[in-house]
Structure 1
Amino acid sequence: MKTMIKALALGLAPMTAIALTSVPALAQSKLGIAVVDVQRAVGTSAAYSTARTQIQTTYKAQIDNFTTRKNAIDADLRAKGTALDTAMKAAGGKPTPALQAQYEAAQKAQQNGQAELQRIGQPIQLANAYVEEQIGAKLSDALKAAMTKAKVDLILAPDATVSYQPTVDLTDEVITELNALVPSVGITPPAGWQPGRQGQQPAAAAPANPSQQPASR
């Protein structure tokens, strides 16, 4: 979800700067100001919540394999690290060809482990990114609709404020708009799909079926 949130954050940043440097002006203009936690809005939307459950089911084999291999790789790296520490103490902290070879072997094992986990986890990562991008495509419209209904002129991210009253938090309203605009999404990307590519035409999202196709903002 973070990749999608970054784009929105870039859009909010200029408004944040204006708000922080022009407080007196804002107070005099009586602008309607609200706060929205975009990450929470996306992460608790109906489409995202349903898709996450479907991903857990559809990609269960990959998730289980990832967890098993990660645990095994972590245990192996810990053992290699312990062995290296023991060997260094035995050598009195002095570098030796044997220690160097042992260190390089541990580094190689770590690199290989990371590459393996990335390979195993790629389908899951793509599914998550596909879900986020479909919801993100409607996020701007959801924000605008919530702003219009609440008669708000300016939206800030929570971390861009010093303090605010709960009454100015429009996150729930944005969630409502998202649920109306994008009630469901697909979790299986089209062949060759990659996150954030301009101009690509993903397949139309349809209600996911766990037996066919069911990301983790």
Structure 2
Amino acid sequence: MNLFADAFAWLFSPERFEGSYALQTLLAQHLFYTVVSVAVAAAIAFPVGWLIGHTGKGREIAVAVSGAARAVPSFGLLVLLVLVLGVVQTPLAAVITFVLLAIPSLLAGAYTGLEAIDRRVIDAARAMGMTEWQIFTRVELPLGMPLLVGGLRSAVLQVIATVTIGAYVNLGGLGWPIIQGIPLRRFDQVLGGAILVAALALIVDLLLALAQRAAVPAGLGVQHGTAGGPRARRVASAPA
């Protein structure tokens, strides 16, 4: 228990909020790389996932690519890209690494959200004379939104955890106290940094869980609604 007391004492000491490595600065860096990486990954994965879910074509390729991306070790890829691009391009190398990490979850959430919709709903929309674009925007996108947010939730948490290792290549972020404290044997600092990362992940997860609940269309439950088949429930529970 003394170690936890020392960690909290380190966290709340006045010098933690001063200088270029102040905790608020490290937190801002952590959030910046997370938001930028997830935004770039979403711009790539969402359109592809929606196209796959709407047309029903290319799912096998998407699964294979996603599986290959998940198998790549993030730390090794980050170091490799830093060596290839150069130390000056460290932020770019980090963003590329985090984008590749986020794409599989975002892609899966996008196409599975559309695939989980009962085909009879889509057929009924076509029978009413809706165009394919109207079907996508008025039927598929609203019904698939809970699983889409679920994929976003998973991706964001993975990126938050992985941005921590960015401090190893002098990227900053909340991983800096951990990386710096290990060789110095400052275990109170290491634990304090770990607590910060865990707290950030829990807060973001809670906010995205509320957003996922709010994304469910009125009168439609994730567990029992049109989009709530077994496959939908598996994907929706993945971030947890």
TM range (shorter): 0.3 to 0.5
Return the TM-score normalized by structure 2.
0.30
Where relative contact order (Cα < 8 A, 6+ residues apart) is larger, the structure is: 1
Q: Which has the larger radius of gyration?
A: 1
Return the TM-score normalized by structure 1.
0.32
